Structure 1
């Protein structure tokens, strides 16, 4: 659930002019929409190591 950046109250989602907007009932203000962080974008997730080429166990000859 999205929270107000000013007071941490749960924001109300509504549609205005065909676009989703957020409203804080405590601040009585429309809040800007910003993307919520997701695990795939988090900084703390390490990137996988590059794959190593597989060497053949068969001898050429």
Structure 2
């Protein structure tokens, strides 16, 4: 029973997500995009993001 409750919830949320079709949120799109990048590309994007954050706070 302990395993069935979370599994059932994930199945329900998954089916709900399928019905939304193209209604993907921005953070989900970025997560999906970053999951398929190489470690070197992720490191470069992190460096770019860090430098843009430093210049934005000044």
Does TM, scored on the shorter chain, surpass 0.5?
Answer: no
Q: Give the structure with the larger helix fraction.
A: 2
Higher Rg = 1
TM range (shorter): under 0.3
Q: Give the structure with the larger strand fraction.
A: 1
Structure number with the bigger relative contact order (C-alpha 8 A, sep ≥ 6) is 1
| TM-score between both structures, scaled by the size of structure 2 | 0.17
| TM-score between both structures, scaled by the size of structure 1 | 0.17
